[in-house]
């Protein structure tokens, strides 16, 4: 670990960090630029953050790239974001693969997502599927409530088909039917841009996550801010509802 990270306790690095990458539009507006320029600048922030996560040993990094609510944005911006995310995967897929990062996606892969984008998603997953250094999970066409609804629907369908074998509806049975049940719950959720809410992000998985908010707009975020969040995380006492004597 680099000497400037000597104050981080390597035994208490959060295993899973999740980020709401917010503020691209405001960053562009402050500079009198189109909103699309904010999204482009956000790519640099994302990959510096990925490098920082690799540097300190984060095992899972989940980022909120496109929500189920984002379809309500102007059609021109939605079209740009679809093309941008497809291009991002083309540009960065090999780079992530070379660094040992496994790329995965969580969210609905439905009719609204262009087939060309779905192909790039599948290609990135296929190329990196055996990598083990870190998992980069991209929440795309994702909504927390939608995820829970889909899990319950799956449970009910299995019940109707007689496949449950007496399994009860419990928190554990729902967790097993989330989009990526093998990914551990996030330890730390970061949101940029000064907003203090999670906006339908990992609402099931983040039940006991530590929350860290920063006024920094996403295009200005970098690995140093990630390290700052981890420092604060390491000062906290995580009890999960228990009392520590």
* Catalytic residue set: 22, 70
How, if at all, do strands 60-67 and 16-20 pair? parallel
Per the CB < 8 A criterion, the answer to whether 200 and 69 are in contact is yes
Per the CB < 8 A criterion, the answer to whether 49 and 214 are in contact is no
Q: How far apart are CA 85 and CA 92, in angstroms?
A: 10
Per the CB < 8 A criterion, the answer to whether 173 and 155 are in contact is yes
Helix 115-128 to helix 75-98 angle (10° resolution) is 20
Instruction: Strand 60-67: give its sheet, edge to edge.
Output: 101-106, 134-142, 60-67, 16-20, 188-191, 210-213
Per the CB < 8 A criterion, the answer to whether 129 and 135 are in contact is no
């Amino acid at each position: 670990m680099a000497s400037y990270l000597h104050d981080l306790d390597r035994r208490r690095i959060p295993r899973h960090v999740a980020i709401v990458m917010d503020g691209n539009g405001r960053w562009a507006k402050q500079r009198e630029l189109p909103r699309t320029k904010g999204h482009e600048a956000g790519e640099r922030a994302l990959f510096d953050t990925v490098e920082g996560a690799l540097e300190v040993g984060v095992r899972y990094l989940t980022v909120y790239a496109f929500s189920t609510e984002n379809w309500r944005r102007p059609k021109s911006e939605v079209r740009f974001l679809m093309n941008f995310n497809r291009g991002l995967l083309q540009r960065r897929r090999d780079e992530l693969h070379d660094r040992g990062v496994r790329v995965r996606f969580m969210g609905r892969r439905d009719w609204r997502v262009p087939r060309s984008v779905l192909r790039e998603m599948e290609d990135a997953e296929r190329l990196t599927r055996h990598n083990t250094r870190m998992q980069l999970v991209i929440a795309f066409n994702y909504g927390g409530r939608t995820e829970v609804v889909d899990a319950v629907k799956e449970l009910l369908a299995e019940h109707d088909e007689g496949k449950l074998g007496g399994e009860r509806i419990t928190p554990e049975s729902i967790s097993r039917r989330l989009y990526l049940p093998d990914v551990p719950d996030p330890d730390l959720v970061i949101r940029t841009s000064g907003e203090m809410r999670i906006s339908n992000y990992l609402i099931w998985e983040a039940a006991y996550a530590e929350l860290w908010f920063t006024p920094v707009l996403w295009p200005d975020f970098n690995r140093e801010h990630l390290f700052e969040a981890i420092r604060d995380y390491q000062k906290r006492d995580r009890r999960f509802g228990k009392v520590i004597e």
